[in-house]
Amino acid sequence: MFKTLFIVAVVAVYAAQAQQIQKQRLRFKLSARGLPDKDDLGTSDPYVILYYTEGTNTKEHKFGRSATITDNENPIWGDIFEFNYDRSKGQRWHFQIWDHDNFREDDKVGSAWVIVDDYVDRGQTADVNLHKKGFLTIQKF
């Protein structure tokens, strides 16, 4: 009897822990390194726009934008981003890094896609290649 109760209790604890991982409010910070220089004078002034998609739906939903870091090809953004994670929704993040320009259109520096399930399963840290050049780091906060 005691052994059965113990097994039921252990299963209940594991189920509760798994449920915590199923839905969670994620908090993270971003940094990048090795970004290409997009400015004619000086170096890039990068910022990031964050989007997400769910399941097979390709419609992107914006959920954040970083501050602009002046003259830096290895920015560490101080912004803390939050995201409501739900494993059942097949969520993906799309990060677009742009170079801010004062007198013309901003230049796209690079982009990356991250499957949120993979990010969570890897301990909420990721270092991903950007589409054009450089790397983006996503770190739990």
DSSP 79: -
Query: Scanning the structure block, which residue is given the tokens 């742009």?
Result: 98
Whole domain around residue 113: which residue ranges?
25-140
* pLDDT at site 43: 86
Under 8 Å between Cβ of 48 and 100: no
Number of domains in the chain: 1
Structure confidence by residue, pLDDT tens digits, 24-48 = 999 999 999 999 987 667 789 999 9
Strands 91-99, 81-86: pairing kind: unpaired
Question: Per-residue pLDDT for 6 more than 60?
Answer: no
Q: Rounded to the nearest 5 degrees, what angle is found at the Cα of 67, between the Cα atoms of 65 and 72? A: 120
Structural domain contains residue 3: no
Structural domain contains residue 13: no
In sequence order, what are the beta bridge partners of 93? 52, 114
Structural domain contains residue 11: no
Q: What is the pTM of this model?
A: 0.83
Q: Rounded to the nearest 5 degrees, what angle is found at the Cα of 112, between the Cα atoms of 107 and 114? A: 155
Structural domain contains residue 19: no
* pLDDT at site 14: 44
pLDDT band at 65 (very low <50, low <70, confident <90, very high): very high
Residues 6+ apart with CB under 8 A from 54: 89, 90, 91, 92
Q: Return the CA Rg of the chain.
A: 19
Identify the weakest region by mean pLDDT among 9-13, 18-22, 98-102.
Answer: 9-13
Tokens read off for 2: 């005691």
Structural domain contains residue 7: no
Structural domain contains residue 4: no
